[in-house]
């Protein structure tokens, strides 16, 4: 077909050092879990990658006890400058093993190697690096002199950025002096367990970090455990609400990072070609499995046609396929379950009268894949404008004036992020002021940095991760 | 029994990432505290100061434009290199300061840890010292701290490594570049530190280290039109007023330092970081 | 759809855009009304496309295509007939031991060297391109620029690489720049015209987009980044902006115009990044020497070395390619 076909450029699978069996990490060692082992699959091929031992409720108790012992006996007594050096070591080890981690992440999660290599893994290392520097500077964090940690943190993370979400949770917790028990997502446990190896290589004192693979019931057991002082959850709004209900009335501190339905607002004076890039990045990066995805394009009516034409052309150049191929832009959907959810919502879009366009890119026969799709003529009342699809599906709505853009953008119970595209500085700042979203990107999208706090308004959760603000979640202040 | 003859090191200046001898050709003997000869150190001249300032200025653009994260990584790498040379530093500090090995070891460890402390500051300075300003009008106003430029540093005379690290690391952490005059009588750890800097990823010219006499070179730094700030720690207390007067000629930022050398083992604070930063306030209207 | 390259004689602007060039005010409004280019955004896209991994058959194809797109160039005060003849020989047989190596697209010289080049390349199908209009600075009168062009055209140049008046552009005298391009285009006769924007002096991507459109409106067959005498010369982001301009031009008018980055492209790796940009920004149609050229001199040898490496299976060395 094309005269410039890119030959397959696969990253080597062997770099992942895949084992046939992985085990939970408790008190500095890999131990057998007494839960039913799970099989984690490669969503691009549906083949089994490995068997992973899981925790049972009693394992949760063992892990929390280990975390408590490490907290009381070692970690809370250790000067911040020494804690810092452990975190610096971990950051360096992540950098050293970055290629292995990137390949493993792509195998287990389905995201393109180019993203795990260039985005997920380096940013995870950066989080440890950044937070290492806070460990002995908490007096300067604005929470008064000598702020104290909370104790043991129970952390539950999602499958969309497995290693990065682990970094967002563990780095600030450890830097502030807490110990952790973390449950990775059921479908993506592997990089968390390699992280556990890294903790061993860093000679982190046993019990400071504990990793328990398992499903939702184990997450609930961890969250509900009486000796956990702090709960941190990133995942669906539905589960977040359940957790908030579960710990209501207890003294546990809670932070939640939940779903979103972000508006990406493009004005008629936007830098158009870069706006197209930002839209594409906003909804197709990580196959749209992003809580802060720009899943609603709000485009000023006067330029809508021109923009959509450019957008469709651009989307048709996106390469969908083998996540391990370095030229792949869009990888696999993480699970059959998620693929079914996406398809269901897409069908609702058709049924409710939106205009669907799907990229003509070839789609692999095996594995869970969904071609990038753009719905136009979407109205606020449609499900595809209100519900989080968590897939590579963009809903396009129009607006006439800045006020109308604000109204439509804010017309959602979510409030995680938003995008603004205009060359006019005052409008950027005015819009940013008006938008009810915890993260506002202007003339860019999906930018993450450990120094920049991240989190949502309303049903997108509460609490922030990153920056000075993010330390608060793990301090007794 | 034949003792192996060691290969003695030549100690030179560190300017622009390279190790030149003083352009004056001068050297002076350095001894341990008992008078035993250790080495001939380069005796830096005003022209070396001139060249060092020029190198520091040249390096400032790139160093200040690097991301704070990148600077933090580079400075942490310096700490890695310092740790690798621990034994060498212990021997040099012990000889230079006349302290026992155990004490020297704790000084060297404190130096490395202090360097790590400053490395972790690079990407936090803006958060701690910057601000969004709640002005009374439809404006977004924010203040960011920016590195001041080239800083002239007269390193402490007594503390040959820990004191040196304590006055140099904060300059680099802010994104400024440094011209350092080392301790006159105890310069050797400074040059070994230069070797560490040269083998880390620190770009040439970001730090420049001159061995010689603060009493001779201090006023050349203080009066230099292309130096933005001055740390007079290594100057005689009686000479500091004169230096401050000279510095006034170009409205330099001059650090206030105690008469006697402080106890460098005490926890550091951020007063040095603040001195090497300029606050820039920006305004922009909000409107459709 | 059949593409029409703009005809040489008439400078009729396609009708959707005729209003834009009606007068100075209209031209300014049009150019200033083009969407801005976000610097960070365009540089990020260029860097992202630079991570494409082009291997094996795709790499071989890319190397051969790049060779066929080279405008082999010598533009030195010290150029002699001997130098030009040596370059022409290289153009004809880039790798004497590998006769299946493609020929380059053109040889690019100063106007007074055109005759020598034409003679040396007679019958090969390789074009002779000439710089003109007071290259590289372009700081001289209209008369001299036209005369410069005439010398080259009369001597047999099939392609003219002109420079725009950057001073006039930066002063906002867009009509003057526009009319000058039109005049040179007329003086080209049947030769095709490349318009050098000198992007390094235009300084901003917004200016590069405006200058690109100005040159396309005025009838340039190709827009070219640089003279190669000013740094920065060609860069990937600047080329992105120009590729986007010719794509947008095509969408609006149906006409295909070309792009030529020149200066600073030294390695095969760089060249392949440019081809990826052409492919993904403009489109497949531009992946041929009629619509994309590399202005380069040392690039060719690196392409030849890499070609050998792909074919022989081991790294080659500079002694295996000719120095001309």
CATH number for the segment(s) A263-442: 3.40.309.10
3-class DSSP string for A412-456: CCCCCEEEEECCCHHHHHHHHHHCCCCEEEECCCCCCCCCCCECC
Residues near C296 by beta carbon (within 8 Å), at least 6 away in sequence: C70, C71, C72, C73, C262, C263, C265, C266
Residue A3 in this model has a pLDDT that exceeds 60:
yes
- C-beta of residue A206 within 8 angstroms of C-beta of residue A31: no
In order of their start, the domains of chain C are 37-311 (3.20.20.70)
The rounded mean pLDDT for chain C is 94
Residues of chain A with pLDDT > 70, as a percent, come to 100
Residues near A248 by beta carbon (within 8 Å), at least 6 away in sequence: none
Assign C9 a pLDDT band (cuts: 50, 70, 90): very low
Q: Is residue B207 situated within a structural domain?
A: yes
Among the partner residues A114, A273, A317, nearest to C51 by beta-carbon distance: A114
- B136-187 pLDDT, tens digit per residue, is 999 999 999 999 999 999 999 999 999 999 999 999 999 999 999 999 999 9
Is C224 known to be catalytic? Answer: yes
- B1-11 pLDDT, tens digit per residue, is 579 999 998 99
Average pLDDT over residues B93-120: 98
Assign C6 a pLDDT band (cuts: 50, 70, 90): very low
The neighbours of chain A, by the rule of 3 or more Cβ pairs under 8 Å, are B, C
Q: Of C52, C49, C68, C58, which Cα lies nearest the Cα of C281?
A: C49
Average pLDDT over residues C297-319: 92
Residue A231 in this model has a pLDDT that exceeds 80:
yes
Q: What is the pLDDT of residue C16?
A: 64
- A114-130 pLDDT, tens digit per residue, is 999 999 999 999 999 99
- A37-86 pLDDT, tens digit per residue, is 999 999 999 999 999 999 999 999 999 999 999 999 999 999 999 999 99
Three-class secondary structure of residue B131 per DSSP: strand
**Right CATH number for A13-258+457-474 from 3.90.180.10, 3.40.605.10, 1.25.40.10, 3.60.21.10?**
3.40.605.10
Residue A148 in this model has a pLDDT that exceeds 60:
yes
pTM value is 0.95
- A277-333 pLDDT, tens digit per residue, is 999 999 999 999 999 999 999 999 999 999 999 999 999 999 999 999 999 999 999
Residue C255 in this model has a pLDDT that exceeds 80:
yes
- B192-213 pLDDT, tens digit per residue, is 999 999 999 999 999 999 999 9
Give me the catalytic one of C206, C224, C270, C273: C224
Among the partner residues A7, A271, A326, nearest to C57 by beta-carbon distance: A7
CB atoms near residue B28 (< 10 Å): 15
The neighbours of chain C, by the rule of 3 or more Cβ pairs under 8 Å, are A
- In this structure, what CATH number is given to the domain that contains residue B70? 3.40.605.10
Residues of B in contact with A81 (CB under 8 A): 113, 116-117
Residue C7 in this model has a pLDDT that exceeds 70:
no
- C-beta of residue A323 within 8 angstroms of C-beta of residue A112: yes
Residue A386 in this model has a pLDDT that exceeds 50:
yes
Beta bridge partners of B231: B153
Assign C298 a pLDDT band (cuts: 50, 70, 90): very high
Q: Of A400, A402, A384, A382, which Cα lies nearest the Cα of A392?
A: A384
3-class DSSP string for A224-266: HCCCCCEEEEECCHHHHHHHHHHHCCCCCEEEEECCCCCEEEE
Distance of CA B40 to the CA centre of its chain: 22
Q: What is the pLDDT of residue C14?
A: 62
Q: Of B253, B259, B225, which Cα lies nearest the Cα of B240?
A: B259
Among the partner residues C35, C40, C279, nearest to A270 by beta-carbon distance: C35
Average pLDDT over residues B91-106: 97
- B80-89 pLDDT, tens digit per residue, is 999 999 999 9
Assign C13 a pLDDT band (cuts: 50, 70, 90): low
Among the partner residues A129, A135, A141, nearest to B72 by beta-carbon distance: A129
Residues of chain B with pLDDT > 90, as a percent, come to 98
Q: Is residue B5 situated within a structural domain?
A: no
Residues A259 and A459: their CA atoms lie apart, in Å, by: 7
- C119-137 pLDDT, tens digit per residue, is 999 999 999 999 999 999 9
Q: What is the pLDDT of residue B1?
A: 55
Is A291 known to be catalytic? Answer: yes
Overall number of domains in chain B:
1
Residues near B45 by beta carbon (within 8 Å), at least 6 away in sequence: B22, B23, B24, B26, B212, B217
Subunit contact A430:B287, Cβ cutoff 8 A: yes
- C-beta of residue C227 within 8 angstroms of C-beta of residue C234: no
Is A423 known to be catalytic? Answer: no
Residue C272 in this model has a pLDDT that exceeds 80:
yes
Ramachandran angles phi, psi of C159, nearest 5°: -140, 140
Interface A-C: count of C-beta contacts within 8 A: 66
The rounded mean pLDDT for chain B is 97
Residue C4 in this model has a pLDDT that exceeds 90:
no
Q: What is the pLDDT of residue A324?
A: 98
- Verify C-B touch: 3 or more CB pairs within 8 A: no
Q: What is the pLDDT of residue A388?
A: 96
> Where are the domains positioned within chain A?
13-258+457-474, 263-442
3-class DSSP string for chain C: CCCECCCCCCCCCCHHHHHHHCCHHHHHHHHHHCCCCCHHHHHHHHHHHCCCCCCHHHHHHHHHHHHHCEEEECCCCCCCHHHHHHHHHHHHCCCCCCCCCCCCCEEEECHHHHHHHHHHHCCCCCEEEEECCCCCCCCCCHHHHHHHHHHHHHCCCCEEEEECCHHHHHHCCHHHHHHHHHHHHHHHCCCEEEEECCHHHHCCHHHHHHHHHHHHHCCCCEEECCCCCCCCCCCHHHHHHHHHHHHHHHHHHCECCEEECECCCCCHHHHHHHHHHHHHHHCHHHCCCCCECEEECCHHHHHHHHHHHHHHCCCCCHHHCCCC
> Looking at chain C from residue 264 to 303, which residues have their Cβ under 8 Å from any Cβ of chain A?
275, 279-280, 284, 287
- C144-189 pLDDT, tens digit per residue, is 999 999 999 999 999 999 999 999 999 999 999 999 999 999 999 9
Average pLDDT over residues A206-219: 97
Residues of A in contact with C35 (CB under 8 A): 269-273
Structural domain range at position B232: 37-285
Q: Is residue B2 situated within a structural domain?
A: no
Residues of chain C with pLDDT > 70, as a percent, come to 95
Residues from A contacting C (CB-CB < 8 Å) are 2-9, 114, 118, 269-274, 277-278, 309, 317, 326-327, 423, 443-444
Assign C324 a pLDDT band (cuts: 50, 70, 90): confident
Give me the catalytic one of C71, C95, C148, C161: C161
Average pLDDT over residues A7-28: 97
- C192-244 pLDDT, tens digit per residue, is 999 999 999 999 999 999 999 999 999 999 999 999 999 999 999 999 999 99
Average pLDDT over residues A219-234: 98
Which ipTM did the prediction report? 0.94
Assign A1 a pLDDT band (cuts: 50, 70, 90): low
Assign C17 a pLDDT band (cuts: 50, 70, 90): confident
Question: Distance from B265 to chain A by nearest Cα, in Å?
Answer: 14
Average pLDDT over residues B260-272: 96
């Amino acid at each position: 077909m094309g005269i410039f076909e890119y030959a397959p450029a696969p990253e080597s699978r062997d770099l992942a050092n895949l084992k046939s069996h992985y085990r939970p990490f408790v008190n500095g060692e890999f131990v057998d879990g007494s839960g039913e082992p799970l099989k984690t699959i490669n969503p691009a091929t549906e083949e089994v990658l490995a068997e992973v031992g899981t925790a049972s409720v009693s394992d949760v108790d063992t892990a929390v006890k280990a975390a408590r012992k490490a907290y009381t006996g070692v970690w809370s007594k250790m000067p911040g400058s020494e804690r810092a050096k452990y975190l610096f070591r971990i950051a360096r080890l992540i950098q050293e093993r970055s290629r292995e981690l990137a390949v493993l992440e792509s195998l287990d999660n389905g995201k393109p190697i180019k993203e795990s290599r260039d985005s997920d893994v380096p940013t995870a290392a950066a989080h440890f690096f950044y937070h290492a520097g806070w460990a002995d500077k908490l007096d300067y964090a604005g929470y008064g002199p000598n702020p104290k940690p909370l104790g043991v943190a129970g952390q539950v993370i999602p499958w969309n950025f497995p290693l990065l979400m682990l970094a967002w949770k563990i780095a600030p917790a450890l830097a502030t002096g807490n110990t952790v028990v973390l449950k990775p997502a059921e479908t993506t446990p592997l990089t968390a367990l390699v992280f556990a190896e890294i903790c061993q290589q860093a000679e982190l004192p046993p019990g400071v970090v504990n990793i328990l693979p398992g499903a939702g019931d184990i997450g609930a057991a961890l969250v509900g455990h009486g000796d956990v002082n702090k709960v941190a959850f990133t995942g669906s709004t539905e589960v977040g609400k359940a957790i908030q209900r579960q710990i209501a009335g207890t003294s546990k501190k809670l932070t939640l990072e939940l779903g979103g339905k972000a508006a990406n607002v493009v004005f008629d004076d936007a830098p158009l070609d870069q706006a197209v890039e930002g839209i594409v990045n906003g909804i197709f990066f990580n196959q749209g499995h992003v809580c802060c995805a720009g899943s609603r394009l709000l485009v000023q009516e006067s330029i809508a046609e021109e923009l959509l034409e450019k957008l469709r052309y651009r989307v048709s150049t996106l390469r969908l396929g083998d996540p391990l191929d370095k030229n792949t832009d869009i990888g696999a959907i993480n699970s059959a379950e998620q693929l079914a959810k996406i398809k269901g919502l897409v069908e609702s879009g058709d049924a409710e009268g939106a205009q669907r366009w799907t990229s003509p890119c070839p789609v692999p026969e095996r594995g869970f894949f969904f071609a990038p799709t753009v719905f136009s003529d979407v109205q606020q009342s449609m499900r595809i404008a209100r519900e989080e699809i968590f897939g590579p599906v963009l809903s396009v709505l129009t607006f006439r004036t800045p006020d109308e853009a604000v109204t439509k953008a804010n017309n959602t119970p979510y409030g995680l992020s938003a995008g603004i595209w205009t060359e006019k500085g005052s409008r950027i700042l005015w819009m940013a002021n008006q938008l009810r979203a915890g993260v506002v990107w202007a003339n860019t999208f999906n930018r993450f940095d450990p120094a920049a706090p991240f989190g949502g308004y309303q049903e997108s959760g509460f609490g922030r991760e990153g920056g000075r603000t993010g330390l608060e979640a793990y301090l007794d202040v | 029994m034949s003792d192996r003859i060691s290969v003695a090191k030549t100690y030179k200046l560190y300017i622009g990432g390279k190790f030149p001898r003083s352009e004056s050709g001068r050297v002076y003997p350095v001894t341990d505290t008992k008078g035993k000869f250790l080495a001939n150190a380069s005796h830096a001249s005003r022209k070396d100061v001139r060249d060092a300032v020029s190198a520091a200025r040249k390096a400032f653009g790139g160093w200040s434009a690097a991301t704070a994260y990148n600077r933090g990584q580079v400075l942490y790498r310096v700490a890695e290199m310092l740790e690798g040379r621990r034994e060498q530093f212990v021997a040099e500090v012990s000889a230079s300061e006349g302290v026992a090995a155990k004490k020297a070891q704790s000084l060297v460890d404190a130096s490395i840890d202090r360097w790590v402390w400053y490395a972790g500051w690079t990407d936090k300075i803006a958060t701690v010292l910057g601000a969004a300003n709640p002005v009374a009008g439809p404006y977004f106003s924010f203040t960011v701290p920016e590195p001041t430029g080239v800083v002239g540093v007269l390193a402490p005379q007594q503390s040959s490594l820990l004191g040196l690290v304590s006055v140099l690391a904060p300059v680099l952490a802010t994104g400024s570049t440094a011209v350092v005059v080392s301790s006159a009588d105890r310069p050797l750890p400074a040059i070994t530190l230069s070797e560490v800097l040269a083998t880390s990823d620190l770009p040439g010219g970001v730090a420049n280290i001159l061995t010689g006499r603060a009493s001779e070179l201090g006023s050349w730094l203080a009066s230099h039109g292309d130096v933005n700030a001055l740390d007079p720690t290594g100057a005689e207390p009686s000479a500091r007023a004169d230096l401050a007067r000279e510095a006034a000629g170009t409205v330099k930022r001059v650090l206030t330092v105690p008469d006697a050398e402080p106890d460098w083992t005490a926890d550091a604070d951020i007063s040095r970081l603040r001195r090497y930063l300029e606050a820039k306030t920006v305004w922009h209207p909000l409107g459709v | 759809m059949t593409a029409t390259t703009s005809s040489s004689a008439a400078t009729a602007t396609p009708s959707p855009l005729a209003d834009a060039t009606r007068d100075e005010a209209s031209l300014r409004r049009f150019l200033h009304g083009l969407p801005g280019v976000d610097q960070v955004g365009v540089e990020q896209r260029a860097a992202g496309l630079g991570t494409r991994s082009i291997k094996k058959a795709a790499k071989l194809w890319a190397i051969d295509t790049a060779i066929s797109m080279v405008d082999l160039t010598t533009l030195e005060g010290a150029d002699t007939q001997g130098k030009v003849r040596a370059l022409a020989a290289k153009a004809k047989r880039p790798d004497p031991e590998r006769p299946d190596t493609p020929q380059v697209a053109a040889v690019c010289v100063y106007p007074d060297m055109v005759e020598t080049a034409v003679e040396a390349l007679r019958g090969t199908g390789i074009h002779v391109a000439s710089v003109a209009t007071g290259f590289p600075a372009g700081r001289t009168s209209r008369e001299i620029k036209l005369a410069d062009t005439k010398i080259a055209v009369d001597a047999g140049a099939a392609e003219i690489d002109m420079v725009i008046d950057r001073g006039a552009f930066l002063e906002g005298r867009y009509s003057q720049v526009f009319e000058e391009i039109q005049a040179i285009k007329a003086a080209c006769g049947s030769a095709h015209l490349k318009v050098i924007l000198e992007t390094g002096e235009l300084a901003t991507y917004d200016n590069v987009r405006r200058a690109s459109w100005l040159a396309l409106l005025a009838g340039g067959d190709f827009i070219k980044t640089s003279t190669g005498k000013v740094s920065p010369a060609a860069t990937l982001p600047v080329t992105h902006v120009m590729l986007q301009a010719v794509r947008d031009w095509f969408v609006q008018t149906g006409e295909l115009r070309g792009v030529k980055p020149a200066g600073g492209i030294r390695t095969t790796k760089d060249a392949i990044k440019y081809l990826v940009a052409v492919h993904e920004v403009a489109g497949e149609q531009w992946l041929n020497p009629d619509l994309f050229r590399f202005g380069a001199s040392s690039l060719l040898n690196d392409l030849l070395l890499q070609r050998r490496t792909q074919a022989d299976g081991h790294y080659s060395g500079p002694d295996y390619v000719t120095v001309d």
